[in-house]
Amino acid sequence: MLHLGGLRTALFNYLLARRYGGEFILRIEDTDQARLVPGAAEGIVQTLEWAGLNFDEGPGKGPDKYFQSQRSDIYRKHAQELLDRGAAYRCFCSTSRLEALRTEQTAQGRAPAYDRHCAHLSSRQIDEKLRAGERHTVRMRAPSAEDSDSGRFYDIVHRAMDFRGPAGFDDAVLLKSDGQPTYHLANVVDDHLMRITHVLRGEEWLMSTPKHRALFTAFGWQAPQYAHLPLLMNPDGSKLSKRNDDGPVQRYIDDGYLPESLVNYTALLGWHPETPQELFTLRQLEQSFSLAGLSRSKSVVSRERLDWLNRQHLRAALADPDKSAGLIQQARAEVAAASGLETASVRPETVATALRLAGDRLTFTKDLYNAVPFMFGDPALDTTAAEQALILVPHEFHIPILNALEHALASEVSESWIGFAKSVAAAAQVPTKHVMMMLRFALTGERFGPKIPELLDALPVDSIKRRIRSAKAEIESR
């Protein structure tokens, strides 16, 4: 399941490739079989497709193998190359010994690190252990702090970095005892073989970058440029994780957000455009994105801002003939489900009008029925909401206004609805605002809602007449 942070990483890599004519490559890091979730890779591909982030190479698309579990022979070959160069060595330490070492170092207030117990085994000792079938890993022989510049590098986001220290860094495991590579080896090898020039990833990998740069040096390869993206945070300051409600991308999809709005929102989590513009299409992002706009500050995930963006993108999509038809059909099914009506009885034309009428008050199409229920049936007039509208008009004006409305609607309305309301007000000898509120009561059964002229344009005249009669009957029955 793709996390919002993962979507941001994919998006920034995609935008960088599109802006500068590069290639966006999707690799599936599935070498840790114990943590493998069935269907996870397919879910990632589907989520990226939903977001419109079409990769140039990846599973099912391209000349290479893109699941790292399918590339084990490649990693073992390169691990052997490091062994032959003396840049790596075999480690036969048992799990219990490593745990004891870690416990002892922690108790002494030292950072846990391998003590190179196996780094100086002779060839004869190694051969004996291999013939005996002893399980082992392959570790990189990390260079000393004095002999390596791996810990000093330039990060596109964090600028000049220097992780050099007297202790250097740990001899990281490259091949596990089951023969599978770790992230360190697999990604360095793949980055080189796939000609990766830029790596944009989460800042949790910043501390591992010296190891990766050391591996590039050991192989004699040029390291790519790195940009480590700051963490995403909850409003309370805690780290956004996969377990948070706002973590998984699928949660946003299920909640009804448009791909355009989530992509727009995600792009602004750690990237600042050169202009005050906030509303972006994917195409506009492709043309505007730059590495210079990446921020070192952590970004807070806020649904409030995302909701605003979704309203803007929904309105734009409804104005686009290529997108509106699909949204109308989606909303039609959602209205049927929310109202209990048969889908066939919910007319697409009514849904289209209702979507326009709801306007900026609508964040999701699934909320259309609750936003304007009166577009799909006559309103209930004995509710608290209806009463809140009715009490704004003096009681003695109720029937005179409704009588005047009935009379005015008996013939064809030839003037604007504003002019119509003023004429009714004059006939009933009441202020125009009271006519407007009585219309709102009769037509919607609510105190707030769309502008009355827009509502009168949206409803068939027969429906307006029927609702006026129903309102009159409701008041007379009290």
> In this predicted structure, what is the pLDDT of residue 148?
64
pLDDT at 166 over 70: no
Q: Read off the pLDDT of residues 356-388 as tens digits, 9 standing for 90 and up.
A: 999 888 999 999 999 999 999 999 999 999 999
> In this predicted structure, what is the pLDDT of residue 146?
61
- Cα separation, 90 vs 80, whole angstroms: 10
Q: Read off the pLDDT of residues 9-35 as tens digits, 9 standing for 90 and up.
A: 999 999 999 999 999 999 998 887 777
Q: What is the mean pLDDT of residues 443-467?
A: 95
Q: CA torsion sign, 339 to 340 to 342 to 345?
A: negative
pLDDT at 241 over 90: no
Name the pLDDT band for 136 (thresholds 50, 70, 90).
very high
Name the pLDDT band for 196 (thresholds 50, 70, 90).
very high
Q: Read off the pLDDT of residues 199-228 as tens digits, 9 standing for 90 and up.
A: 999 999 998 999 999 999 999 999 999 999
298 is catalytic: no
> In this predicted structure, what is the pLDDT of residue 38?
85
Q: What is the mean pLDDT of residues 178-196?
A: 95
Cα separations (Å) of 219 from 79, 297, 376? 10, 34, 69
- Cα separation, 288 vs 286, whole angstroms: 6
Query: Which of the residues 77, 239, 242, 451 is marked catalytic?
Result: 242
- The per-residue pLDDT of the chain, averaged, comes to 93
Q: Which of 30-44, 142-156, 245-259 has the lowest mean pLDDT?
A: 142-156
Q: Is the pTM of this model over 0.85?
A: yes
Task: Kindly write down the DSSP assignment for every residue of 139-202, as one continuous string.
Answer: EE-PPPTTT--TTEEEETTTEEEE---TT-----EEE-TTSPBPHHHHHHHHHHHTT--EEEEE
> In this predicted structure, what is the pLDDT of residue 99?
96
> In this predicted structure, what is the pLDDT of residue 201?
96
> In this predicted structure, what is the pLDDT of residue 325?
95
